[in-house]
Amino acid sequence: MAETLTLMPGQIDRPTLQHLYRDEATVRIDPGCKAAVDAAAEIVAAAAAGDEAVYGVNTGFGKLANTRISQEETARLQRNLILSHSAGVGEPLHRSIVRLMIILKMLSLGRGASGARWEVIDTLGQLLAKDVVPVVPSQGSVGASGDLAPLAHLTAVLIGEGEAWWQGEMVPGGEAMAAAGITPLALGPKEGLAMINGTQCSTALALAGLFRAKRLLKSALVTGALSVDATLGADTPFIEAIHTLRGHRGQIDVAAAQRNLLDGSDIRASHVDCSRVQDPYSIRCQPQVMGACLTLLRQSAETLHIEANAVTDNPLVIVADRAIYSGGNFHAEPVAFAADQIALALSEIGALSERRIALLVDPVMSELPAFLTPDPGVNSGFMAAEITAAALAAENKQRATPASIDSLTTSANQEDHVSMATHGARRLHDMADNLGRIVGIELLCAAQGVDFRKPLKTSTPLAAVMARLRAVVPELGEDRYMAPDIATAAEIVQSGGVVEAAGADLLPDLI
């Protein structure tokens, strides 16, 4: 049985968010929040029975906000909202993303400012506990007014509609709920709106992208250090004094990691007095470039941590005022900016890694055999692998174009500026796939280069990384079918095997 974590809305920390994404825990909202949730729901119920127009409670939605809805039609209003807005298209989001969406929505509703009943939060928790995973199409949200289509598909299952994954099969939502023993909800006043207004889809996608970027940045620090040794690079550019004088925390942390990774290398000690004055930028400027990427990821982590704890639907119930206020917390511009920052970092990490791969296969620059094969000519070695890395880096550069600066007016000009946060965050996963393969190719090339430096040895941490690789991918002699080697190396990178082998304590943390 999966563990059950008790979460306090507004207080979830960053490591817990990562744990919830990766380990599929079941959660519940702290029962102490129920009083605030109930109080807000009572205010909404009173508004639904009153004469004053309150958006989304007794009015239509968007451009139809001036259309009054009778108390008798409230339930139909909320149900129709979910059905009509279940208009997403494209491949379904991965179950880990959908489960994180559910958790984020529970946290938001649990703040007691949305007006939804405790029963809604409880039913969401039952989906997690019984592993009913709504089928949520990946396309259809512009990131304002909230992630309407994705969250509508999630909510459809709550009311016995839509589709869900149940015991490995895609089945009608009502069938999944019945099989799991969960009673579908009859939505009360504002509850449909509270469910689909919000940034939980874009935030879940961006958080997942951040978690992958964190691991990939650390892996690229390791392969970058391995490339330093493979190319007989200097460690002088990593000395602390250089980076302290500039003062950027990310740069300082990356330089410290490089020093730790290279400490004790016999290869480095063998060429301290060589004639080379300076290394190419892809070797020498790793702290400056990777440090800037680290800073971007830290900034986006802060934004997404705040958003994960936020209330992002509309209107909001302020219990202390016994009032309901219309605002715009559903606008996902902060998430869009964070996703753009992560995309920039993923692109630049890959761009630098690709340049090191190109350096390694160039015999003039690296002083290694051409294309890292012991018998160039009849063998092509890593020639095509470098081309693959260039192609992937180029793709990521194109995908790094900011999504947040785009906007298309929707809902008959009522929603006249949108964030595009959702697809801005969704692209991060393709970019992370590409980056994992680029870094995997660098791992293969750098390890091959270090092998050519025998009998000299690299540092203890980097030797452990090479041992992890060589356990599954042997040194390249005669040309062989290359694709499986790349796939295996990329999996070591994506799974965290590179970081684990080097020693996670040697590398800077992000969140």
Q: At what angle do helices 200-230 and 483-494 cross, to 10 degrees?
A: 120
pLDDT range class, residue 2, cuts 50, 70, 90: low
Q: Between 253 and 59, where is the model more confident?
A: 253
| Mean per-residue pLDDT of the chain | 95
- Nearest partner of 388 among 487, 507, 253, judged by Cα: 487
**What count of residues does the chain have?**
511
**Environment class of 29 (CB within 10 Å of its CB; exposed 0-12, middle 13-18, buried 19+):** buried
In sequence order, which residues have a C-beta less than 8 Å from that of residue 130 and are 6 or more positions away?
180, 181, 182
Chain position carrying tokens 């909320």: 78
Give the model confidence (pLDDT) of 465-482 as tens digits. Answer: 999 999 999 999 999 999
Quick check: 402 pLDDT over 90? Answer: yes
Q: What is the mean predicted confidence (pLDDT) over 128-151?
A: 95
Dmax of the chain from CA atoms? Answer: 86
At 277 the pLDDT is: 67
Any alpha helices (H) in 159-285, and if so which ranges?
Answer: 173-180, 191-196, 200-230, 240-246, 249-262, 266-270, 281-284
Quick check: 68 pLDDT over 60? Answer: yes
| Greatest mean pLDDT range, 22-26, 409-413, 420-424, 506-510 | 420-424
Give the model confidence (pLDDT) of 281-333 as tens digits. Answer: 999 999 999 999 999 999 999 999 999 999 999 999 999 999 999 999 999 99
Share of residues in the chain with pLDDT > 90 (%): 86
At 58 the pLDDT is: 85
At 271 the pLDDT is: 77
pLDDT range class, residue 511, cuts 50, 70, 90: low
- Nearest partner of 404 among 312, 344, 340, judged by Cα: 340
**Which residue is catalytic, options 21, 55, 325, 481?**
55
Quick check: 410 pLDDT over 90? Answer: no
- Hey, what amino acid is at 385? A
Is 481 a catalytic site residue? no
Quick check: 1 pLDDT over 60? Answer: no
Q: Between 195 and 412, where is the model more confident?
A: 195
- Nearest partner of 494 among 456, 437, 441, judged by Cα: 437
Give the model confidence (pLDDT) of 48-59 as tens digits. Answer: 988 888 888 888
Quick check: 458 pLDDT over 60? Answer: yes
